[in-house]
Chain A
């Protein structure tokens, strides 16, 4: 692979406090060799091929923390290939995949499957999340330690909320032992039941049953 030169890009990198017009050199191993305003048409050798980005944004790959891959079970919605194409088109290079598949990602063998498919079909980094409870039923906690060792980056029931506060508190205690990251969708099912839209002026005007802010707050406060 030859060295590549990108010039005239609006480089945005919040971590390194960069927001400037400049360029980027990718070395023969595909790694970044230099980045910033010093990489410009004038400072580069003439005769090499340069890609002029004409002021378009050049950013570090984005991370999407909440992605639903249809695989397995809902391939008609999305699979690893289409997910990866869609992500790349939007500048997303890493995703955390939610466990709400069919079957649910709640055991070690499912993780192996995901990692294999992710590796074979996807051009982006897939960080699979596993469920907090078996089958996301909100009853029995999953094997946090074993799953984490297999490479699970986070635990969540995805679109579901653990309604039982006792179980949630035990999950947090147990998962903290292995340093497992927990993500919770905050929605109290009883308060949001029948709701179609945020509770407020618009729900009142449209005559639709609202979901009160309390439904979210109460889970977060808990």
Chain B
């Protein structure tokens, strides 16, 4: 079923996919509709088409990534593009080259699309101003991770038929999470009611202004929720002490069966990965095939990224 009636020739106004904040409802619907077409293709025995034949895609990952990078790489290859994943460890960046210089160097090789992940918020925006091709943000600092939010929405729609009217709880390290921010924008846009749950030290200032209710009590935050999104504790971004110990965190904010009872009986468990079992999520719940859609998120991630590559590559 289509999310909204399939719109013919929806215009995407953006030249780049930098964040959910820049997208309109019809643009989001268009991307999700396109992604649905690729789900089936990805399950078939012959997965490759030549939609992007002759196009060059560069994956520029300044931060470690497993699923996002491989997902983008597969997505590009299945669409027939020539995909190059830059290995930052061996690149000139380690020799002190600036982001802009790297961008200009790559730009001179005439790529059609650059997929970038960077530890600094706003880096893809800067990059997009300097290159002639489309830029897709694969996660920047703690700002946005648009394709993750889009694949989360697609997963929810696949299971629940819609996002509109659902109650969604996003739990954990909201402060350092780009996934949380992109999901807050997207789920609000699609008509869901969004709760965020975190200890006070991991709640960003004025988060309510983004259109969410903030809770420090997990059970209250999960009350009657249809979707429970868990986030990873981003220890690598933490400077100084935010929490007493992983044990205390798990006790109060880890997703365990006794806390999950507050949510609806058919509530789905999501996690953008990578998971810290026993820190933010009970290991059995993570593997519960009736509740957890974590693997489905990864699966649909490829379809969403194929849609994004198709749409934004064709734009330029």
Q: Which residues of A contact B (CB under 8 A)?
A: 193-194, 199-201, 203-208, 210, 212
Q: Are B204 and A203 in contact (CB under 8 A)?
A: yes
Apart from A201-B206, A207-B143, list 15 A-B contacts with CB within 8 A: A201-B209, A203-B204, A204-B204, A204-B207, A204-B209, A205-B181, A206-B121, A206-B143, A207-B122, A207-B140, A207-B142, A207-B178, A208-B143, A210-B204, A210-B205
Determine whether B239 belongs to the interface, using a CB cutoff of 8 Å to chain A: yes
For the complex, give the distance between the alpha carbons of A213 and B119 in Å. Answer: 26
Residue-wise interface mask of B (234-245) relative to A, using a CB-CB cutoff of 8 A (1 in contact, 0 not):
000001000000
For the complex, give the distance between the alpha carbons of A32 and B143 in Å. Answer: 58
Q: Are B144 and A201 in contact (CB under 8 A)?
A: no
* Contact partners of A212 in chain B: CB under 8 A: 205
Nearest first, the 4 closest Cβ-Cβ pairs linking A and B are: A207-B143, A207-B121, A207-B142, A201-B206
For the complex, give the distance between the alpha carbons of A67 and B274 in Å. Answer: 51
Residues of B in contact with A, size category:
10 to 19
Q: How far is the CB of B184 from chain A (nearest CB, A)?
A: 10
Q: Which residues of B contact A (CB under 8 A)?
A: 21, 121-122, 140-144, 178, 181, 204-207, 209-210, 239
Q: Are A204 and B206 in contact (CB under 8 A)?
A: yes
* Contact partners of A205 in chain B: CB under 8 A: 21, 143, 181, 210
Q: How far is the CB of B306 from chain A (nearest CB, A)?
A: 26
For the complex, give the distance between the alpha carbons of A206 and B205 in Å. Answer: 12
Q: Which residue of A lies closest to B140 (CB)?
A: A207
A-B contact pairs, 26 of them (CB 8 A): A194-B239, A200-B206, A201-B205, A201-B209, A204-B181, A204-B204, A204-B205, A204-B206, A204-B207, A204-B209, A204-B210, A205-B143, A205-B181, A205-B210, A206-B121, A206-B122, A207-B121, A207-B141, A207-B143, A207-B144, A207-B178, A207-B181, A208-B121, A208-B143, A210-B205, A212-B205
For the complex, give the distance between the alpha carbons of A210 and B144 in Å. Answer: 17
Q: How far is the CB of A106 from chain B (nearest CB, A)?
A: 33
Say yes or no: A201-B210 contact (C-beta < 8 A), given A206-B122, A206-B143, A207-B142. Answer: yes
Q: Which residue of A lies closest to B177 (CB)?
A: A207
* Contact partners of B144 in chain A: CB under 8 A: 207
Q: How far is the CB of B197 from chain A (nearest CB, A)?
A: 16
Q: Are A200 and B178 in contact (CB under 8 A)?
A: no
For the complex, give the distance between the alpha carbons of A193 and B140 in Å. Answer: 21
For the complex, give the distance between the alpha carbons of A205 and B22 in Å. Answer: 12
Q: Which residue of A lies closest to B185 (CB)?
A: A205
Q: Which of A193, A200, A207 has the most C-beta atoms of chain B within 10 angstroms of its own C-beta?
A: A207
Q: Are B205 and A203 in contact (CB under 8 A)?
A: yes
* Contact partners of B204 in chain A: CB under 8 A: 203-204, 210
For the complex, give the distance between the alpha carbons of A14 and B29 in Å. Answer: 59
Q: Which residue of B lies closest to A193 (CB)?
A: B239
Q: Are B210 and A199 in contact (CB under 8 A)?
A: no
* Contact partners of A194 in chain B: CB under 8 A: 239
Q: Which residue of A lies closest to B207 (CB)?
A: A204
For the complex, give the distance between the alpha carbons of A81 and B241 in Å. Answer: 50
* Contact partners of A210 in chain B: CB under 8 A: 204-205
Q: Which residue of A lies closest to B121 (CB)?
A: A207
For the complex, give the distance between the alpha carbons of A207 and B204 in Å. Answer: 9
Q: Which of B122, B144, B206, B207 has the most C-beta atoms of chain A within 10 angstroms of its own C-beta?
A: B206
* Contact partners of B178 in chain A: CB under 8 A: 207
Q: How far is the CB of B206 from chain A (nearest CB, A)?
A: 4
Q: Which of A194, A204, A210 has the most C-beta atoms of chain B within 10 angstroms of its own C-beta?
A: A204
* Contact partners of A199 in chain B: CB under 8 A: 205
For the complex, give the distance between the alpha carbons of A194 and B207 in Å. Answer: 20
Q: How far is the CB of B231 from chain A (nearest CB, A)?
A: 14
For the complex, give the distance between the alpha carbons of A201 and B210 in Å. Answer: 8
Q: How far is the CB of A198 from chain B (nearest CB, A)?
A: 9
Q: How far is the CB of B203 from chain A (nearest CB, A)?
A: 9
* Contact partners of B207 in chain A: CB under 8 A: 204
* Contact partners of A193 in chain B: CB under 8 A: 239
Q: How far is the CB of B43 from chain A (nearest CB, A)?
A: 35
For the complex, give the distance between the alpha carbons of A199 and B239 in Å. Answer: 16
Q: How far is the CB of A99 from chain B (nearest CB, A)?
A: 31
Q: Which residue of A lies closest to B208 (CB)?
A: A201
* Contact partners of B239 in chain A: CB under 8 A: 193-194
